[in-house]
Amino acid sequence: MTRNSDPDFWHRARNHLVRYGGSFEPLIVERAEGRFVYDADDRPILDFTSGQMSAVLGHCHPEIAAVVSDYAHRLDHLFSGMLSRPVVDLATRLANLMPAGLERCLLLSTGAESNEAALRIAKLVTGKHEVVGFTQSWHGMTGGAASATYSAGRRGYGPAAPGSFAIPAPNAYRPRFTRNGELDWQAELDDGFEQVDRMSTGSLAAFIAEPILSSGGVIELPLGYLAALKRKCEERGMLLILDEAQTGVGRTGTMFACQRDGVAPDIITLSKTLGAGLPLAAMVTTAAIEEEAHARGFLFYTTHVSDPLPAAVGLKVLEVVERDGLVERARLAGARLMDGLRRIQARHECVGDVRGRGLMLGMEVVKDRQTKEPAFELGTAITQECLKLGLSMNIVKLPLMGGVFRIAPPLTVSDQEIDRGLELLDAAIARAR
């Protein structure tokens, strides 16, 4: 009998946990190491989602564990008005890595928190309040971030923040605007801002965007789109905020996804990957914006702002990523993974599309390649078969889209582990069908 069915454990889980999303996996995770998590039977499960899309160095990296142990013993948490060396060192390191001009940093705990800070500072500096995002976006579950989140979670919670607008993200697989049979993203962007201009009261403060919309179905903004989006913002006196919670710190094959496009936004937010799975986030902006915000009395006290322990972790994450060449590794491993997914697509008619960049890839499952009708039930079945075979996969289900697997193993994943994951995924699809 499997130890994962421990009746006392599941009885207490049912009685004492708040269910915050989908159902829990039918296993008990006891430990994790590298690219694997281990259940109560000590069965290895290959993690192709980096935990919650965060563990870029894999699980329980020994150097990260050493930093946590060190700072837990001598400098963990401080009054928010005090500073420590790890905080200043991490802010300095991020400023040196960022696109030109982004040099002032606020260190926080979660992605939602960093997006709250970005939206708050944008509203204060511009003196405006309207925020535009993508209809498939996910920026967090706190007030302002949730108001700019459109992929899920909007129904039943009352009104969003006033001035919350959205335009469609450019989806090459399911294009709304086409020219010669291809996505015409410029026409779609123009149309989106025409609608925004009609709705706006003249108080447009910011546009917030993910370079690759993750929970929105792994939708990559085409080359040229970010530059065009920035021009739209500049024309209206808006700030451009890029949420690189999942695309930052090397995952897409550049340190930050926007660097491929040569676009420097007004604000970048980081989380997930910066702490490699531990709670650390950052908002990084220009000196001019920070100076103006400070002059206007910018306030963002939180309990764990500028905490030394997570800052020290972030420094070690950046050190390991650079020292071990993991940005380039993400590019090469991503190419290997993409090639394998395309071979799976060629074997299975239910795989409608594979897309993404580096080690942030998506695989969309459909009932029919011609109609592109979503195959939600099949996607769920594939997920279940993957877990039975020892592969952890994550699927998002969105209206007007198919079930999309978000495939994002740690940057430390080996070629052998990539090949093994592809083998298990191929077998799971065959079994699910």
Instruction: Tell me the Cα Rg of the chain.
Output: 22
In the annotation, is 316 catalytic? no
Q: Are 363 and 405 in contact (CB under 8 A)?
A: yes
In the annotation, is 243 catalytic? yes
Among the listed residues 39, 116, 188, 243, the single catalytic one is 243
Among the listed residues 220, 246, 353, 357, the single catalytic one is 246
Among the listed residues 39, 116, 188, 210, the single catalytic one is 210
Among the listed residues 130, 138, 290, 357, the single catalytic one is 138
Among the listed residues 272, 316, 357, 397, the single catalytic one is 272
Q: What is the 3-state secondary structure (H, E, C) of the chain?
A: CCHHHCHHHHHHHHHHCCCCCCCCCCCCEEEEEECEEEECCCCEEEECCHHHHCCCCCECCHHHHHHHHHHHHHCCCCCCCCCCHHHHHHHHHHHHHCCCCEEEEEEECCHHHHHHHHHHHHHHHHCCCEEEEECCCCCCCCHHHHHCCCCCCCCCCCCCCCCEEEECCCCCCCCCCEECCEECHHHHHHHHHHHHHHHCCCCEEEEEECCEECCCCCEECCCCHHHHHHHHHHHHCCEEEEECCCCCCCCCCCCCHHHHCCCCCCEEEECHHHHCCCCCEEEEEEHHHHHHHHHCCCCCCCCCCCCHHHHHHHHHHHHHHHHCCHHHHHHHHHHHHHHHHHHHHHHCCCEEEEEEECCEEEEEEECCCCCCCECHHHHHHHHHHHHHHCEECEEEECCCCCEEEEECCCCCCCHHHHHHHHHHHHHHHHHHC
Angle at 296 between CA 291 and CA 300, to 5 degrees: 85
Q: Are 131 and 139 in contact (CB under 8 A)?
A: no
DSSP, collapsed to helix, strand or coil, labels residue 280 as coil
In the annotation, is 210 catalytic? yes
Place of tokens 């060190």: 70
Measured distance CA(84)–CA(191) in Å, rounded: 48
In the annotation, is 370 catalytic? no
In the annotation, is 138 catalytic? yes
* Both tokens assigned to 421: 């994951």
In the annotation, is 103 catalytic? no
Catalytic residues: 138, 210, 243, 246, 272, 406
